[in-house]
Structure 1
Amino acid sequence: MLSSSRRIIAISAPKCQNVAKSRSWAILYNSLPRSRQFSSFRASSRGSVLLSSTNINTNTTFVHTAQQQRFYSSSLPDGAQFIEMSALSPTMEQGNLIKWVKKEGDKIEPGDALCSVQTDKAVMDMEYQEEGYLAKILVEGGTDSVEIGRPIAIFVEEEEDIAKVKDFTLDGGAAPAKEVESQQEEPQQRVEQPAQQQQQQAAPAQKQSGDRLKASPYAKTLAKERGVDLNQIAQGSGPEGRIVASDVEKFTPGAQPAQPQQKAAATTAAPAAMAAPVSQDFQDVPVSQVRRVIAERLLESKRTIPHYYLTVECEMDELLRIRSLLNKRFEKEGVKLSVNDFILKAAALAAKAVPEANSSWQGTFIRQYNSVDMSVAVQTDNGLITPIVFDCDKKGLKEISKDVKALAEKARDGKLQPHEFQGGSFTVSNLGMFGIKEFSAIINPPQACILAVGSAQRKVVETPEGGYRTATTINVTLSCDHRVVDGAVGAEFLKVFSRNITDPLNMLA
């Protein structure tokens, strides 16, 4: 029933038990990026869970489903069920539905791709694991910001049931696409109403003891780390009052939440304050889902992680000499080692030697990882992504080189699978190929360190005898989370790294 390729699939509740009993599959529901253990699974309220179709013995990180939020009435004809937008990555709160692969009335076989979805990391196919028919499409292709759990289509098992849902429309928590667009235009009109009437309409309802708490998975995780009681947040900024990560970051215990009318006023005032001069020519570029998540993650990192920076200069003439010799030896195999391959290996061995650098802050404890899974920053048309070279400390230069080239190509083509970019214990960002001498990088949470690598420079250096010679050097800057890595520990990491770069034979010891 399941293919052997590493893709994300949606599987409905009636099939879950059979899958669980017949094969060793599991779903990881807590968002632990480096977890290699798998807990039990369960179906969502409407029968969808996520399953990675890769055997658990391949060290694949499974993806979890976010808590579902009901956007609809459950009154469907017999024999029909909703297909919902699924969480295709641990940090995904919404996705852009790029296009439908299937059309209304098409037959669905187990494993068929239904649609293409742009997550916060990549464009992925969402598959379905039941046999039946795509009866009706509720969310058209090209729709942005579709919340997890929102129905996007209707599935029926029998072809004759398609007619039963032909005229079906969403009711309750969500409206058809045209109604949603009109609703999004209403806030600006409501701002112009008298202040007293506006206050009465916008006053948030107080949470009752029996009300269900609506919060995104990442918001819950962040709240747990910071010890924030989500019930104290009167109103979330997400759809239907849903609490998202930014609400947790802005929450101050004891502070009164801003009144909705104040938020509305600020919203309308902001464009006037930031308006460009009439004579200035400009173009507004829409923010993609990937760029939005990158912005949120980087802002979270700078706000919550106490960064400090250490820089060291490394001589690399011996590394360049050995690289040249190895490339001649591997020429017939089609392998060409880059300087970056040596840097990744040197950094991985340094992280292994100084385990504090290969750790992450977990709120009440520090997690030290036993292997070095190296995240490598790659620039793509959609933004920055960090595919992972797993067990980098145990791999040889040839294997590292092959992995990096394959991952970079898949990243630029948008074909990375979640297990290939989620997690990692240490990150290397290299801008040397762009002529940047040195820079400071922002830590990739929850990791504790990121190494920024500059370009090689020829310079005159003093010899121990008091003479002078020319040498090729690079500057590297280590950004550290001071909660995890103290200054002396960071310096020790750079000492080991510099020794590996200056004399690469140390990496063979």
Structure 2
Amino acid sequence: MAEILVPKIGMTMTEATIVEWLVASGDSAAAGQSVLTIETDKTEIEVEAPVDGIVRHGAQAGEVLSCGAVVGWIGGESGGATPPSGVVAARTPSAAATPIGGRRPASPNARRVADELGVDISVVDGSGPRGRIVTADVKNAAATQHSAAPAQDEVRPAQRGTAAAHFTARRLGLTIADVRPDDRLITRRDVELAAQQRFEGSRENSDLTTNDATVERHPMSTMRRTIASRMMRSLTEAAQLTLNMTVRMKRTVALRDEISGYLSAGDVVPSLNDFILRATALALVDHPTMNARVDGDHIVVANDVHVGMAVAVEDGLIVPVVRHADRLSLTQLADATRQLASSARSGTLGRDGSVGSTFTVSNLGVEGIDDFTPILNPPNVGILGVGRLRDEVAWSDDGQPRREPVLTLSLTWDHRALDGVPAARFARSIRDRLESPIQLLV
């Protein structure tokens, strides 16, 4: 029988949680068919069958396994497939799958909304592909739940929790019974709050201020813990230095306005950030040591240019990756960035959407920031911070003042990989293309 393994998606992924088996143990599946869904710290991923055959489960929903671990097997003829010796099949073909907490296929945003609205997602009917629950399904269920009081004789299973709730409870040394005595579906957030209350109850009050001020303590989400860990690792492992460079954007702004006049209704107009991404991608081709990573005593230079762009999402940050950004035209790049940003914010970013960047761009200009010090996104050796477009005074040849739009680029780089002069030349290469943007159209 062929093994079904937990895939490793990106160099930083170490483990995954089984969300849902899409094929029951004992049922058949074709090669390439999705057989289960796993959850990483960034997204949900469907794992495909490697060959045709009968599926046997080796792990259940809610279990956390390392990358490369065996979650099940597939192979054999119908009715004759058996797992390797010593492994008992999770269920028979006729038994209905009942993961911990009634976990059902649902989008990440639907699960978040269900937690917020107190909706038991295990009883929600899904309208998405293969019955997948989407956000609208949860909101409709919430409206129905609030408009109709439950029957007095209705009895709900006591102490039920989502798969994430069970997993979080195990990690925090709790049980679902420790969380709350009522019978409402327990979520991961409920477990985190219970752990927080238990922790605060055992603490001395010495951490409060002398004025007896109260504080609120909020457990970090999985995404926030991952970001915190990666940023601390970045600051402790890399020799980071930042330089700033002012770019005169008059010609780029004018070119963008001119391009928008030629586009049809519904066409995507390239943003200033798209111009900057395009200039950055071309500069990486000219300065390959910035398109690299440090591996021990080696500098590994990537042959392909995959530019990550930081996108703010609820309670965190995701870096979708524009693959082969140097090969895309300005309008193709604009289409790609819109689609990736939308997928990141909706929680539907695919398997390859957020891994493999060779350089990163982070734009805080939309938040009114002039310049800042971006932190490297491991294992990249460079990240470009983009400030807001602002007006400054420039002087004409005859000594007259004029208003000119400018912005500041903040380049952080790893001094282990390259020194200040090549880093400055890379930044200047980006600036020159933005100040003469006709280069970005060829």
Task: Specify the TM-score bucket, using the shorter chain as the normaliser.
Answer: 0.5 to 0.7
Deviation at 1:301, TM superposition (A): 1.1
Q: Is 2:8 the counterpart of 1:87?
A: yes
Measure, in 2, the Cα distance between the counterparts of 1:292 and 1:496.
36
Displacement, 1:297? Answer: 2.1
8 Å contact kept, 2:386–2:407: yes
Contact 2:306 2:358 in 1 (8 A): yes
TM-superposition CA deviations, 1:384-437 (whole Å, max 9, x none): 222222332332211111111122222233333343432222211111112222
> Is the aligned partner of 1:117 residue 2:30?
no
Superposition RMSD in Å: 3.7
Which of 231, 243, 251 lines up with 1:310 in the alignment?
Answer: 243
Kindly indicate whether residue 257 of structure 2 is the aligned counterpart of residue 324 of structure 1. Answer: yes
Secondary structure, aligned partner of 1:331: coil
Query: Are 2:286 and 1:353 aligned?
Result: yes
2:312 maps to 379
- The answer for the alignment partner of 2:412 in structure 1 is 479
Cα deviation 1:85-105 (Å, max 9, x = unaligned): 443444322112223333455
| Contact 1:132–1:159 (CA under 8 A) maintained in structure 2 | no
Deviation of the 1:378 alpha carbon: 1.8
Say if 2:66 is the partner of 1:147: yes
The residue identity in structure 2 corresponding to 1:123 is E
- 1:151 to partner: Cα distance: 5.2
Aligned amino acid, residue 324 of structure 1: D
Q: Which residue does 1:33 correspond to in 2? A: none
Go from structure 1 to structure 2 and tell me whether the alpha carbon gap of 1:462 and 1:165 turns closer, same or farther (over 3 Å shift): same
Q: Percent identity?
A: 26
1:36-115 → structure 2 map (5 Å cutoff)? 47-48=3-4, 85-104=6-25, 106-115=27-36
- TM-score (normalised: structure 1): 0.58
Partner of 2:158: none
Report which stretch shifted further, 302-311 or 96-105: 96-105
- Structure 2 residue identity aligned to 1:477: S
When normalised by structure 2's length, the TM-score is: 0.66
Q: Is the 8 A contact 2:51 2:75 kept in 1?
A: no
Q: Which runs of 5+ in 2 are unaligned?
A: 92-99, 101-162, 175-198
* CA separation of 1:322 and 1:161: change in aligned 2, threshold 3 A: closer
Measured in 2, the distance between the counterparts of 1:167 and 1:316 equals 62
Q: Which residue of 2 aligns with 1:413?
A: 346
> Shift of residue 351 of structure 1?
2.4
**Deviation string, structure 1 residues 442-479 (Cα, Å, up to 9, x no partner):** 11222221100011112223334433111111111000
- 1:392 maps to what in 2? 325
1:401 to 312, 315, 334: 334
Q: Structure 1 residues 450 and 135, CA, compared in 2 at 3 Å: closer, same or farther?
A: closer
Write the deviation string for residues 11-46 of structure 1: whole angstroms up to 9, x where unpaired. x63xxxxxxxxxxxxxxxxxxxxxxxxxxxxxxxxx
Q: Distance in 2 between matches of 1:180 and 1:440?
A: 34
Asked whether the equivalents of residues 59 and 71 of structure 2 are also in contact (C-alpha less than 8 Å), the reply is: yes
Shift of 1:160: 7.0
The Cα offsets for residues 303-334 of structure 1, whole Å up to 9 and x where unpaired, read as: 11101110011111211111011111122571
What is the rounded CA distance, in whole Å, between the counterparts of 1:354 and 1:132 in structure 2?
Answer: 49
Residues in 2 aligned to 1:327 and 1:408: alpha-carbon distance in whole angstroms: 21
Whether the 8 Å contact between 2:293 and 2:379 is mirrored in structure 1 is yes
Q: Please state how far the C-alpha of 1:120 moved relative to its aligned partner.
A: 3.4
Whichever residue aligns with residue 97 of structure 1, its letter is I
Amino acid at match of 1:500: R
Are residues 160 and 296 of structure 1, via their aligned partners in 2, closer, same or farther at CA, if it must alter by over 3 Å? same
Alignment partners' CA distance in 2, 1:486 and 1:497:
17
Task: Name the amino acid aligned to 2:221.
Answer: V
Contact 2:310 2:363 in 1 (8 A): yes
Aligned mates of 1:275, 1:110 — CA distance in 2 = 60
Aligned equivalent of 1:284: 218
Which residue identity lines up with residue 147 of structure 1 in the other structure? S
CA shift digits 1:28-83 (9 cap, x unpaired):
xxxxxxxxxxxxxxxxxxx34xxxxxxxxxxxxxxxxxxxxxxxxxxxxxxxxxxx
Secondary structure of the corresponding residue to residue 285 of structure 2: helix
Q: Is the 8 A contact 1:461 1:468 kept in 2?
A: yes
- Paired residue for 1:202? none
* Structure-2 separation of matches of 1:419 and 1:166: 32
Deviations 1:319-363 (A, max 9, x none): 111101111112257131111111111122222333332333233
CA contact (8 A) 2:320 2:354 kept: yes
Instruction: Report the Cα distance in structure 2 between the residues aligned to 1:336 and 1:480, rounded to whole angstroms.
Output: 31
Looking at structure 2, the residues matched to 440 and 323 of structure 1 have their Cα atoms a distance apart, in angstroms, of 27
Distance 1:335 1:437 in 2: 26
